[in-house]
Homo-oligomer: A and B are copies of this chain.
Amino acid sequence: MTDHHDHRRVDPQQQTGSYKDTQFRGVSVKQLFPEDRPGWRGFVEWEKYPERKRIAHELLKTKKFTSIPEFQDGPLPKTNPILVGHRWKEYHEAVGLREVVDFSWEMVQKEKHDMLHVLDFPYNGETLFNYILDDGKLTQNRHHFIRNHGGVPDIDEDAFELEIAGLVKNPIKLSMKDLKDETKFPQSTVTVTLQCSGTRRREQIDEYPGDGDELINAPWGEGAIGTAVYRGVPLKKVLKKACGGVLPECQHLEFIGADTYFKKLEAYNYAVSVPWRKVRANEEVLLAWEMNGQPLPKIHGAPLRVVVTGYIGARSCKWVYRINALSEPSFGPVQRQEYLYYNQQIGKQNVLVSNGFSIQAMPVSSAIMTPRTKEVVVHDGKVTVRGWAYSGNGNWVERVEISPDGGHVWYACSPEDMTQKVRTAFAYSAIVTIRGVNVPFGFTLKHYHAWRLWKIEVPVDAEGWLEFCCRTWDSSNNTEPTYVRSAWNWDLHVTSSAHRIKIYSINRSKPATAKRLRQLEEMGQSLLPLTQPLEFTIEKFEEYEAAYQKYPREPID
């Protein structure tokens, strides 16, 4: 339990990086916005210094930034990264935090593997569909999606401290050594699916464009979801054992992250909150330092992050260094001005912060991962479909249904073809190995907070373009809206409608199709790409003449 550092103490080494210090009104920017905690590289304390925030706003107002890209009215670039965060990089550079931009990308290279980079900075990357399926119930750390709102701070675990303040009996500071001391706090492992509330947002963008604020710089597909086993201490236990509990007025616990967040040219530390009743539910809010049996990667929030089960990923604050017990939700912009769910008729002409409700727990949703949309599927009358299904807030996925005809007929997956909760009798803290990763399992392990991967083989007679869709029913009997339009909203959050894909069906059990496929093979030609015409004449003159004689095109009388 360490002392609070003097924020004015600036390590001069930090000013001699590869980026030149600049001046604002005659003062060094690095002096104005110091990275003043030794061992906390890329961290500036904003929330305790209103004057520092005011100066940053004044400074940012004097700058020109790259304009916000328009990508909603056309197709997304086919590049990887899809989008480049010029504006965000410039914000960071303007306040002397350019190093954090580079460090963040270094961490992508080091800690992640083969991601779809949706935005290079702040880093947002989604898991490729094949890893979602192949990794199985637990997503490998290097494949797990990331949705960051700022740079990745580089904090030495030994120098780290967590401060707990606000409506608690005893405000306190804790080192990582304190937190990891099992004699002080009992540890837990929880299997948790985390999901960005923007998952599958592209479907909403395709339907109608929405809010173009910085928020939207994450045009996610179906891969902004992943599941891992986290180890840490339940926040409830820390509040009780280290702080003597919360005061009766406490309603929300606010988490402040060491990353810098910009909103309308103001600088903040990332801040969000969850209700006390959620924290009170024991393992549902964890302070975690381990992910799938490995030290938490820096890009995922090391040395310490919050993991909130069943809620949008945004509440699982990374690099959490301060927790405030509050009488109401955090006033941070991420909590109050973003992740809001608006009525469909609210838009740019009438949107207010107060007419959206705050997205906390996630609804039931699912996605087809294979086949891919617009895929040409050659089959013999049956097509295998695979994907994920999830419901938040402790609701368990009970049933997944697939329709091969756009939503008329629905086939249910067999329980054997859905990943299961594990009814384990392992002793507390037993270690099991999952795909080479040592994962601790114990009797406190719950899987109510995890997705289920599923597969099913559906009968498909028809050929040509078909619409496949899936929907899920959870343990509260919730299911998904029918169409994207049903739940389209201005901020393009929570695309939980039945997931629809287009497939081009080629049923080779049909004689005419089998004949054409043989003909193609003999001629060394391909059906792909589908829109490229066949080079040969598909029907000889004599053949269509004979067909015409049999079925003349027009009546005579």
Q: Return A13 CB to nearest CB of chain B, in Å.
A: 38
State which residues 337-375 of A face B: CB under 8 Å: 344-354, 357-358, 374
Q: A70-B529, A74-B75, A347-B504 are in contact. Are A548 and B328 (CB under 8 A)?
A: yes
List of B residues within 8 angstroms of A247 by Cβ: none
Distance, CA A467 to CA B544, complexed state (A): 43
* Distance in angstroms between the alpha carbons of A490 and B533 in the assembled complex: 12
Q: How distant is the Cα of A212 from the Cα of B353 in the complex, in angstroms?
A: 48
Chain B residues, Cβ within 8 Å of A344: 464-465
Provide the A51-74 mask, 1 if CB < 8 A to any CB of B, else 0: 000000000000000001010111
Q: Return the CB mask of A113-156 against B: 1 if under 8 Å, else 0.
A: 00000000000000000000000000000000000000000000
- Return the chain B residue nearest A342 by Cβ: B464
Contact with B along A207-222 (1 / 0, CB 8 A): 1111111101000000
Candidates B73, B336, B350, B551; contact of A516 at CB < 8 Å: B350
Give the nearest-CB partner of A466 in chain B. Answer: B345
Q: Which of B209, B350, B530, B538 contacts A512 (CB 8 A)?
A: B350
Chain B residues near A462: list those with CB within 8 A: 345
- Give every chain B residue within 8 A of A465 (Cβ-Cβ): 207-208, 344, 347, 488
A495-510 residues at the B interface, CB under 8 angstroms: 502, 504, 506, 510
Contact with B along A317-338 (1 / 0, CB 8 A): 0000000000011010000100
Contact yes or no, A553 B358, CB < 8 A? yes
Q: Given A210-B531, A212-B533, A349-B516 in contact, is the A354-B68 Cβ separation under 8 Å? A: no
Chain A to chain B contacts (Cβ below 8 Å), 6 pairs: A208-B502, A275-B554, A331-B541, A347-B465, A350-B510, A358-B553
Instruction: Check if A264 is an interface residue, CB within 8 A of chain B.
Output: yes
Given A211-B531, A251-B556, A353-B538, is A345 in contact with B73 using a C-beta cutoff of 8 Å? Answer: no
A551 contact set on B, CB distance < 8 A: 354
Of chain B, the residue at the smallest CB distance from A71 is B531
Q: Does A18 contact B (CB under 8 A)?
A: no
Question: CB < 8 Å: which of B207, B275, B353, B539 contacts A539?
Answer: B353
CA distance A209 to B464 in the complex (A): 11
The reply to whether the CB of A431 lies closer than 8 angstroms to some CB of chain B is no
Q: Which residues of B contact A351 (CB under 8 A)?
A: 538
- In the bound complex, residues from chain B placing their C-beta under 8 Å from that of A464 are 344-347, 490
A333 and B467 CA atoms in complex are apart in Å by 33
Given A513-B350, A527-B348, residue A75 in contact with residue B72 (CB < 8 A):
no
Number of copies: 2
The reply on A416 being an interface residue by CB < 8 A is: no
- Are B352 and A538 interface neighbours, CB within 8 A? yes
A536 to B406, CA, bound (A): 43
Beta-carbon nearest neighbor of A213 in chain B: B533
- What is A's interface to B at a CB cutoff of 8 Å? 68, 70, 72-75, 207-214, 216, 251, 264, 275, 328-329, 331, 336, 344-354, 357-358, 374, 406, 462-465, 467, 485, 488, 490, 502, 504, 506, 510, 512-513, 516-517, 527, 529-539, 541, 543-544, 547-548, 551-554, 556
Do A354 and B530 have beta carbons less than 8 Å apart? no
CA distance A529 to B512 in the complex (A): 51
Q: Which residue of B lies closest to A546 (CB)?
A: B354
Q: Which residues of chain B come closer than 8 Å to A275, judged between CB atoms?
A: 554
The verdict on A352 contacting B548 (CB below 8 Å), with A533-B68, A553-B358 known, is: no
Interface pair A345/B208, CB less than 8 Å apart: no
Nearest B residue (CB) for A265 = B535
A211 near B353: Cβ-Cβ < 8 Å? no
B-chain residues with CB within 8 Å of residue A554 when the two chains form the complex: 251, 275, 329, 358
The answer to whether B516 touches A209, judged by C-beta atoms less than 8 angstroms apart, is no
Residue of B nearest to A336 (CB): B544
Contact across chains for B537 and A264 when beta carbons are under 8 A apart = yes
Q: Are B374 and A73 in contact (CB under 8 A)?
A: yes
**Interchain CA distance A331-B553 in the complex, whole Å:** 12
What are the residues of chain B within 8 A of A264 when measuring CB–CB? 535-537
Given contacts A75-B74, A531-B72, A532-B68, contact A463 B553 (CB under 8 A): no
* Measured CA separation A33–B68 after assembly (Å): 58
Most central of A216, A331, A348, A462 by chain B CB within 10 Å: A348
A531 lies within 8 A of B212 (CB):
yes
Residues of B within 8 A of A467 (CB): 485
